[in-house]
C-alpha cells in the first residue's frame, strides 16, 4: 500500500507498547477532545478509511539515536492527539555535509 521496502517489525504481545508507556482504552479513543478533533477533521473533508488494528490502542512517536539516546518522545493521550511536526523535525540530527551531497 505505501510502497515502503524497508523492514517492518511487529509486536503482537504488546510488550514494547507497554514498555513505551503508550495509552490504551476506550476512554482514550472516545475522549471528548478526540471527538472534537474528529468532527473538525470531518468538516475539513477528511474521511476515515478502513480501520486496521486495535482502535483503543493509542500511538506515539519516538526519535531514537544517535546511539542509545532518545532525542524526542511523544505519547498520544487520546485519539487524534499528535506530536508537533516542528518538534519532531527539530529533534532529528542534522545531516553531515558528506551525507547531504549523496
44: domain range?
15-93
Residue 65 has pLDDT above 70, yes or no: yes
Q: Which of 19-28, 41-50, 79-88 has the lowest mean pLDDT?
A: 41-50
State the Cα torsion 37-58-2-16 to the nearest 10°.
Answer: 160
The answer to the question of residue 6 being in a domain is no
25 pLDDT more than 90: no
Asked if the structure places residue 3 within a domain, the reply is: no
Note whether residue 1 is domain-resident.
no
Percent share of the chain, pLDDT over 70? 93
pLDDT exceeds cutoff 70 at 98? no
Provide the pLDDT for residue 100: 53
Position 63 in a domain: yes
Q: Mean per-residue pLDDT for 18-34?
A: 87
Task: Look up residue 27 and give its three cell numbers.
Answer: 476512554
Query: Is 0.75 surpassed by the pTM of this model?
Result: no
Amino acid at each position: 500500500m505505501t510502497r515502503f521496502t524497508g523492514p517492518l517489525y511487529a509486536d503482537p504481545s504488546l510488550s514494547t507498547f507497554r514498555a513505551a508507556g503508550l495509552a490504551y482504552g476506550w476512554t482514550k479513543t472516545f475522549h471528548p477532545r478526540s471527538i472534537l478533533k474528529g468532527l473538525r477533521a470531518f468538516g475539513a473533508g477528511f474521511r476515515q478509511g478502513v480501520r486496521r488494528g486495535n482502535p483503543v490502542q493509542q500511538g506515539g512517536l519516538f526519535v531514537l539515536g544517535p546511539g542509545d539516546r532518545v532525542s524526542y518522545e511523544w505519547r498520544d493521550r487520546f485519539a487524534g492527539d499528535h506530536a508537533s511536526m516542528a518538534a519532531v523535525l527539530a529533534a532529528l540530527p542534522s545531516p553531515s555535509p558528506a551525507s547531504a551531497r549523496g
